[in-house]
């Protein structure tokens, strides 16, 4: 039986999806894929340009289908561009001997994600570089807002890092032509991320420093990160979290005195049954309204 293990074999307690992504937690990633469903995920991956095969089932969550660096960088680019998937071009333009354009390969750009999904995902991927598996890049992100993701395969055969600023996306892969383990410590965060940083420090200097633009269709509410509910005044820890409107929590944290702030659900009024007699039919049941679509 195949069982997902976290790459460092470490154990975490409860994690939010944001933290699970930052720490690259395998068990939670598999549970998430199980929740959204393999067919949905394969369809989504196809939209961003990753041709994954549904037959691989839940192991897809951990990269059981091989992809190229080119495909992986392309798949991350919609998160960097606010939802647009550009087709990669190796030749942009060819000039004739008089430096006149002889032929041109124009960009082909397809919208594949909502700007809100792209933005929230990017904000989650920023955490990878501040406290997650690539926290060595924290100093870089303080100078240049950036987001990214590490990748480490079973047996430490491949180490990846794909990261981006609003203006440039770069992927790094390390491994052997004939796959063999790179040894303990051969992880995306340890070996690939520093190469990414060295290149990006050069690449970003010619561009203006910019942060990712928050689209209008994103709301920010204060939550208790421990419970995921709206932060009550007594919550020991509070954090602003981003949501697509309609998906944000609506109840205050019950563990820290949020009851008083939550709207009270009125119990249904029940006709009183005379002593010793059965209640009138239907009185014990909450009234169910038929919902017609």
Residue selected from 235, 241, 242, 252 as contacting Zn ion according to rule CB under 5 A = 235
Shorter beta-carbon distance to Zn ion: residue 224 or 241: 224
137 near Zn ion (CB under 5 A) = no
Question: Binders of Zn ion among 189-228, rule CB under 5 A?
Answer: 224
Segment contacting Zn ion by CB under 5 A, of 25-33, 45-53, 81-89, 234-242: 234-242
Question: Binders of Zn ion among 91-130, rule CB under 5 A?
Answer: none
Shorter beta-carbon distance to Zn ion: residue 70 or 255: 255
Give the chain's radius of gyration (CA, Å): 25
The torsion defined by the Cα of 59, 62, 66 and 71, in degrees rounded to 10, comes to: 130
Shorter beta-carbon distance to Zn ion: residue 126 or 256: 256
Shorter beta-carbon distance to Zn ion: residue 147 or 231: 231
CB of 235 to Zn ion, least distance (A): 3
Q: Alpha-carbon distance 112 to 47, whole Å? A: 6
CB of 219 to Zn ion, least distance (A): 20
Shorter beta-carbon distance to Zn ion: residue 220 or 284: 220
CB of 170 to Zn ion, least distance (A): 39
CB of 238 to Zn ion, least distance (A): 8
Residue selected from 18, 126, 149, 256 as contacting Zn ion according to rule CB under 5 A = 256
How many residues does this entry show for the chain? 293
CB of 19 to Zn ion, least distance (A): 16
Reading the block at residue 270, the tokens are 């029940």
Helix axes 26-36, 38-48, angle to 10 degrees: 100
Shorter beta-carbon distance to Zn ion: residue 85 or 256: 256
Segment contacting Zn ion by CB under 5 A, of 66-74, 233-241, 261-269, 278-286: 233-241
* Residues in touch with Zn ion (CB under 5 A): 224, 235, 253, 255-256
């Amino acid at each position: 039986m195949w069982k997902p293990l976290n790459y460092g074999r470490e154990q975490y307690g409860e994690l939010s999806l944001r933290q699970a992504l930052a720490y690259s937690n395998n068990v939670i990633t598999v549970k998430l894929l199980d929740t959204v469903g393999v067919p949905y995920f394969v369809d989504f991956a196809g939209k961003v340009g990753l041709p994954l095969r549904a037959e691989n089932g839940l192991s897809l969550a951990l990269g059981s289908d091989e992809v190229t660096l080119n495909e992986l960088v392309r798949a991350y680019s919609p998160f960097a561009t606010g939802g647009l998937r550009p087709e990669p071009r190796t030749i942009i333009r060819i000039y004739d001997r008089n430096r006149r354009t002889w032929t041109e390969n124009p960009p082909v750009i397809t919208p594949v994600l909502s700007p809100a999904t792209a933005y929230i995902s990017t904000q989650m991927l920023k955490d990878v570089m501040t406290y997650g598996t690539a926290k060595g890049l924290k100093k870089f992100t303080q100078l240049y807002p950036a987001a990214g993701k590490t990748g480490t395969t079973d047996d430490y055969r491949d180490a990846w890092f794909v990261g981006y600023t609003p203006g440039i996306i770069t992927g790094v892969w390390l491994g052997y032509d004939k796959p063999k383990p790179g040894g303990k410590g051969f992880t995306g965060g340890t070996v690939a991320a520093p190469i990414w940083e060295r290149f990006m420090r050069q690449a970003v200097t010619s561009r203006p420093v910019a942060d990712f633009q928050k689209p209008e269709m994103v709301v920010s509410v204060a939550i208790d990160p421990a419970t995921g509910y709206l932060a009550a005044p007594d919550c020991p820890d509070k954090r602003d979290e981003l949501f697509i409107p309609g998906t944000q929590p609506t109840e205050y944290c019950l563990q820290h005195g949020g009851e008083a702030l939550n709207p009270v659900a009125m119990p249904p009024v029940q006709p009183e049954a005379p002593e010793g007699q059965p209640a009138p039919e239907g009185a014990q049941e909450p009234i169910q309204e038929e919902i017609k679509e």
